[in-house]
């Protein structure tokens, strides 16, 4: 495991959109500056969110770039074949929603030691995620 902290989409959105979890997201972004990474699933989720919210492709793409930059999150490339293979293998044990499985498995593939999320389903299965993937959940 590395010092990388994998950030779930909801943490980035909480920071950028300044929702109810903004203060905690701000603390995370400040405390872990330079160690935050995320994968292409987050890129897809951010794109989906902003394209629905803004209804303008150019603004949506700019907002995705801004969100990653303002949070100082590095986007890491993940081999999708490995991701889907491992996600398919582990989903019966993790018992999470599809995108949640893809996110935690992405974190394990980039050898992150920490998975940062505000997702209640992942937090509720913190022990299972830790046991199966070796990820420490921070929320």
pLDDT in tens, 108-122: 999 999 999 999 999
- We report the CATH number of the domain holding residue 38 as 3.40.50.1010
- The C-alpha atoms of residue 55 and residue 107 are separated, in whole angstroms, by 30
- pTM, rounded to two decimals: 0.95
Q: What is the pLDDT of residue 3?
A: 83
Q: What is the pLDDT of residue 62?
A: 98
- In the chain, how many domains are there? 1
The segments of the chain whose pLDDT lies below 70 read 1-2
32 vs 44, 76, 114, 134, CA distance in Å?
A: 23, 17, 11, 19
Q: What is the pLDDT of residue 80?
A: 96
Residue 114: give the domain boundaries.
Answer: 5-138
What are the pLDDT digits (tens) for 82-91?
999 999 999 9
Work out whether the CA dihedral 98, 123, 14, 36 comes out positive or negative. negative
- The C-alpha atoms of residue 84 and residue 57 are separated, in whole angstroms, by 28
């Amino acid at each position: 495991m590395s010092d990388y902290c994998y950030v779930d989409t909801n943490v980035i959105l909480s920071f950028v959109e300044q929702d109810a979890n903004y203060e905690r997201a701000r603390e995370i972004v400040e405390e872990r500056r330079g160690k935050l990474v995320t994968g292409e699933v987050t890129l897809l989720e951010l794109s989906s969110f902003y394209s629905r919210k803004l209804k303008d492709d150019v603004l949506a793409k700019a907002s995705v770039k801004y969100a990653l930059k303002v949070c100082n999150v590095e986007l890491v490339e993940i081999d999708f074949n490995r991701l889907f293979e491992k996600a398919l293998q582990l989903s019966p044990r993790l018992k999470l929603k599809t995108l949640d499985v893809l996110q935690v498995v992405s974190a394990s593939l980039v050898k992150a030691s920490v998975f940062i999320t505000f997702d209640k389903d992942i937090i509720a299965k913190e022990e299972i995620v830790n046991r199966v993937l070796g990820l420490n959940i921070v929320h």
